[in-house]
Amino acid sequence: MTATKPTAGIAARRGASSTQSDQTILVADDSRTVLRLLDRTLRDAGYNVALTEDGRQAVEVATETKPDLIILDINMPVLDGYGVCHELLADETWDRSTPVIFLTSADAPHLETLGSQLGAFLSKPTEPDLLLETVQTLLRRTV
């Protein structure tokens, strides 16, 4: 399983709470199975979760809810994960230090680079423990 280590260069964010129940994670994936699995894993760990099934919905929900972290599939209909990042980073009101975890079955060297720049890259399928460890590490760095 390929995974990048969460980047150490994420700047401190707006006064995020240190309790998981106050932290919201946006998950965007076109697979309902993956959404259900991630939703259950993250909610059981105490996070608030917002789910979307395509990139366009992800951008809309992200700009409305300002999540503490985003988990993005790369290959989604309407707008892919790259497009989501591009649109959010182009939005002047978006907090560019919001970490992104790219979760995809694709395997390419540029994904690890992109993941290390914005947060992390995890290959599908990923173990719930690895996902939660990555989420916790990234969120600790943004407090």
Full-model pTM: 0.81
Model confidence over 55-89: pLDDT tens digits? 999 999 999 999 999 999 989 989 999 899 999 99
Banded model confidence at residue 120, pLDDT cuts 50, 70, 90: confident
Mean local confidence (pLDDT), 37-46: 97
Place of tokens 């990555």: 134
Cα separation, 53 vs 124, in Å, equals: 16
Cα separation, 133 vs 2, in Å, equals: 15
